[in-house]
Amino acid sequence: MPAYLNNRRGEYTAWIQTTATLGLFLSLIVIMLTRNYTGADFDTWGWRVPFLVSIVLLFVSMWIRLSLNESPAFLKMKAEGTRSKAPISESFGEWKNLRYVIIALLGLTAGQAVVWYTGQFYALFFLTQTLKVAPQTANLLIAGSLIIATPLFIVFGRLSDSIGRKPIIMAGCLIAALTYFPIFQGLTHFANPALEEASEKSPIHVAADPAACSFMFDPIGKAKFLNSCDLAKNALVKSGFSYKNDDAPAGSVATVKIGDKVVASFEGAGMDKDAFKAKQMEFTDALNDAIKSAGYPTKADPERINQPMVLLLLVILVAYVTMVYGPIAAMSEGAPGRARLPTISIPPKPPAGRQAPAPLEPIIFFDLP
């Protein structure tokens, strides 16, 4: 960045930070158009269309990258012969540089990645998977919140030039931590009041021997759960309903209590494939009947969705994103120029804006019972 813009780094780098959110916005638009065009075929072959369209963006991004010039600071180091000859070892083998990696990994990216993904991706999954809002409606609401709140990236980036990056980023993380629970409770209230009413009237409880329950993590649906506790919880997770855990005597078969109805699970160990499948279907049907009779909706009623209030809460979530993400790219200025790229490229979502493991966050949230 030219020297005369040094006092506006936060503002100018914040424009870069808008691209991820605007990219998500455009992807939602493409998905909505594809759903509208393919209709019921979206789940069979229509979902491939957005991936095919993205090939065009791949070539556009390659053209942009090849058109970029090196920064004046790098060109100066190159001309003076002061570039690092071993940037990776210099970044991670010298404490003065390694500390930037640690700060970025454990300080900046830990909170920022949670806020970024919770405010955008997790919010979308929460609407569709937990609150059972129709995909088109959920996509439209999320897209609206993204486009409304995106200008705040520039606002907070510019503000960071005046009061510093850290106060804004820390404030965003703190406010998010304090308000996430009431905001998501509000989303439930305004997006699916029938679900809220059923949860209050007939809460779901799983009573099981704690020692028999496994640590369940099955993001690709290949794991086999055979004990009664795991089978009960797995069925509820797949249905998208939350529940509370109750301790049961050791060795007892897990049960699911929904209001005044109790559905017993079963032990699948030792069963042959056909017998297990039949018993699992029987249990699932009984569970679904109990859930339905307790008033739990299978989908959100479009007539009862308070869209303005849902949109407002989603805008607030994205506003938190802009607070923590808008000023963060400018913090790469703290890394040493000789080894800046490897220093800021290791964290999951470092100041330079790269990302890796953090996208798994929403999947993990919804996969763990």
Per-residue pLDDT of 154-212, as tens digits, reads 999 999 999 998 899 999 999 999 999 999 999 999 999 999 999 999 999 999 999 98
pLDDT in tens, 260-314: 899 999 999 889 999 999 999 999 999 999 999 999 999 999 999 999 999 999 9
Q: State which of 227, 259, 293 marks the end of a domain.
A: 293
Q: Is residue 138's pLDDT more than 90?
A: yes
Residues 41 and 108 both lie in one domain: yes
Claim to verify: residue 173 and residue 320 sit in the same structural domain: yes
Would you say residue 257 has pLDDT above 90?
Answer: yes
Give domain status of residue 66, yes or no.
no
Residue 269 maps to a domain? yes
Q: Single out the residue in 263, 293, 323 at which a domain terminates.
A: 293
Q: Identify whether 139 is part of a domain.
A: yes
My answer on whether 232 and 347 are in the same domain is no
Say if 74 falls within a structural domain. Answer: no
Cα(181)–Cα(189) distance, rounded to whole angstroms? 12
Q: What Rg do the C-alpha atoms of the chain give, in angstroms?
A: 25
Sole residue written with tokens 């009779």: 293
Distance CA 212, CA 249 (A): 11
Q: Are strands 255-258 and 261-264 parallel, antiparallel or unpaired?
A: antiparallel
Do 102 and 122 share a domain, yes or no? yes
Residue 252 domain flag: yes
What mean pLDDT do residues 338-345 have? 55
Nearest to 111 by CA among 163, 159, 172: 172
123 class by beta-carbon count within 10 Å (0-12 exposed, 13-18 middle, 19+ buried)? buried
The pLDDT of residue 219: 64
* Residue 141 shares a structural domain with residue 244: no
Do 285 and 260 share a structural domain? yes
244 lies in some domain: yes
Which H or E element spans position 205? strand 204-208
Q: Which of the four pLDDT bands, split at 50, 70 and 90, describes residue 77?
A: confident
- Which residues form the domain of 209? 203-293
Residues 226 and 325 in one domain: no
Domain co-membership, 89 together with 159? yes
Reduced to 3 states (helix: H, G, I; strand: E, B; else coil), residue 84 is coil
CATH label of the domain that carries residue 253? 3.40.30
Q: Are residues 164 and 275 in the same domain?
A: no
220 and 164, same structural domain? Answer: no
Q: Are residues 272 and 359 in the same domain?
A: no
Are 114 and 245 members of one domain?
no
Query: Average pLDDT of the chain?
Result: 85
Show the tokens assigned to 286: 């009984």
Residue 339 to residue 142: CA distance in whole angstroms:
38
What is the reported pLDDT for 209?
92
Domain count, the chain: 2
> Is 68 a domain residue?
no
